[in-house]
Amino acid sequence: MKLSILGGGAWGATLGQLLVDNGHDVLIYDINQSFVDTINQQHIHPFFDLPLPEALTATNDLSVALDFTEYLVLAVPTKVMRGLLTTIDNLVTEPKYFINVSKGIEPDTSKRVSEIVDEVIKTNHLKGFAVLTGPSHAEEVIKRKLTLLTVASTDEALAKDLQVMFSNDSYMRVYTSTDLIGCEVGGAVKNAIAVVSGIATGLDMGENARAALITRGIVEIVRVVEAYGGSRDTAFGLTGVGDLIVTASSEHSRNFKAGKEIGKGKSMDQIYAEQKQTIEGVRAILALHQLAEKKHLSLPIIEVAYHVIYENMPITDAVTKLLTRTLKSEKIE
């Protein structure tokens, strides 16, 4: 099959290698000319100093990527997704499949990427939509380390086709799901919890505290998944708890690392100045805070992270706020 990957960053270029390994013809589109040159001329991953297959090519011309195939893998940060999709809708004349691999929720609208696609892409340009997500550090997939993902679509036949396209016998096993909502939401919320876990680590609060935050973070993932209409089972699978496990204490995770820096006293401005790559969890915290207000959801961990990051609440006050909540029984509701 032919696929275009829109966004050739850490994850997009890594998926490019996976798809070439699986025998597909892959073109990457990225706005960063130096990434395009690095892929085409040096055959090196733009973020990791590791070789990419020579068959993997790149372009900075979106029209070329759109004309290449009907399968479009969306691997850009969520914050540019609406703009990119609007441009795509103006350029395409044939219907396309959209396979989202980014993990975020749009602040202000609280929309998932599938909802943005439905809003922006005209019906006659939309052949199908799926999300591919789960516990996956690009740093490991690029080294062909064993990884399990889930591809979710309301169109089960599409999910099965993509399962075969992305799976291989040596390092990638993909499951299918029809719970598109649950799979999309889990990936976004776990990033927010990973930031909080990082803050606790930066503060040297200890492993007990981190385990507590991660476990109670799972409760918040369940609440958000269910608030959107997803299934609790999905929240406990690869795309929710699985992804949280891989992210919430890993130095590979930009969300965890950003949280650690916040815990050590750095401002978001300083962190953004040092880290040019996507940190989805910080924007997810804003989107989830807004969602909690709109839907009257109890998300205490995400709420205190919002106060610390967006309202400069001292972290010690945030911890006190969490600890002085009414004592309760341990239930997920």
Ligand X SMILES: NC(=O)c1ccc[n+]([C@@H]2O[C@H](COP(=O)([O-])OP(=O)(O)OC[C@H]3O[C@@H](n4cnc5c(N)ncnc54)[C@H](O)[C@@H]3O)[C@@H](O)[C@H]2O)c1
Binding site for ligand X (CB under 6 A): 6-12, 29-32, 35, 47, 75-78, 80, 84, 101-104, 136-138, 277-278, 280
Q: Could you confirm whether 190 is annotated as catalytic?
A: yes
Which residue, 274 or 293, is less far from ligand X as judged by CB? 274
CA atoms within 13 A on the CB side of 41: 6
Token output for 286: 């804003």
What's the min distance (Å) between Cβ of 47 and ligand X?
Answer: 6
Cβ nearer to ligand X, comparing 98 with 318:
98
Question: What's the closest the beta carbon of residue 312 comes to ligand X, in angstroms?
Answer: 26
Instruction: List the catalytic residue out of 96, 103, 190, 260.
Output: 190
CA dist list (Å): 34 to 12, 30, 57, 87, 321: 15, 9, 13, 22, 46
231: left (phi over 0), alpha (psi -120 to 50) or beta: beta
Instruction: State in angstroms the smallest separation of the CB of 86 from ligand X.
Output: 10
For ligand X, which is the closer residue by CB, 101 or 219? 101
Closer to ligand X by CB, 142 or 315: give it.
Answer: 142
Say which amino acid occupies 76.
Answer: V
Least distance (Å) between residue 188 CB and ligand X:
8
Residue showing the smallest CB distance to ligand X in the complex: 9
CB 30 within 8 A of CB 60: yes
**DSSP strand E in the chain: where?**
2-6, 25-29, 57-59, 71-74, 96-100, 126-133, 147-152, 172-177
- Nearest one of 167, 279, 275, 184 to 227, comparing CA atoms: 184
> Where in the sequence numbering do the catalytic residues fall?
190
